[in-house]
Amino acid sequence: MNEILAATVVERESACLPSAAEMLPAIDRAINSLRRGGTVLREGEPWPCRECGIGEYRLLFSDETRSLALPKRSTTGQMPNVAALYGRENTTLTVKSYACAACGSLKTFWWPDEKRPDAWRPPRKKPEA
C-alpha cells in the first residue's frame, strides 16, 4: 500500500505516475501479497514470528551478511578445508539470517552481492534532531 501511495501522493505532478496503467503492477503486487499473507520486511526492523506468534524475528550477526557454502555433493570430498570450500566459484550465497528468540525459528534470506532484495524496504530514516 505504501508503495502505491508513494507513487501517487506527491508534491509535484511530474513525480506522479502518468496513468493508472503504470500503477497496475504495484496494485497487483499488493493484492498478491495480501492474499498470500505476506509480511512487510524492512531492513533493521523485527517482524512477528509466524510459527509461534509470540516472538519476533531479529537479525543475527550484528547486521552483517554472511556466506553460506553450498557445494555439489560430488565435490565435497575434494575440499580439504574451509578455505577450499569457500574459495570455489558458484558455491556460496551471501545471506542474512534472522531468529525468533521465543521458539527458535530461523529465517535466512539471500542478499545477492550484498544488495537488499527487491521485496525488502530500506531502513527508516531517523528523525532529525
- Percentage of the chain modeled with pLDDT above 70: 81
E strands present in 64-124: 66-69, 92-100, 106-110, 120-121
Residue 66 sits at the vertex; the CA angle it makes with 63 and 68, to the nearest 5 degrees, is 150
Q: Is 91 helix (H, G, I), strand (E, B) or coil?
A: coil
Q: What is the 3-state secondary structure (H, E, C) of 35-80?
A: HCCCCCEECCCCEECCCCCCCEEEECCCCCCEEEECCCHHHHHHCC
Q: Residue 103's pLDDT band (boundaries 50, 70, 90)? A: very high
Cell 524492512 -> residue:
42
Q: What would the pLDDT profile of 23-77 be if each residue is shown by its tens digit?
A: 888 788 778 777 877 788 888 899 999 999 999 999 998 767 888 877 777 766 6
**β-strands 92-100, 106-110: how paired?**
antiparallel
Q: What would the pLDDT profile of 39-49 be if each residue is shown by its tens digit?
A: 888 888 999 99
Q: What is the pLDDT of residue 44?
A: 87
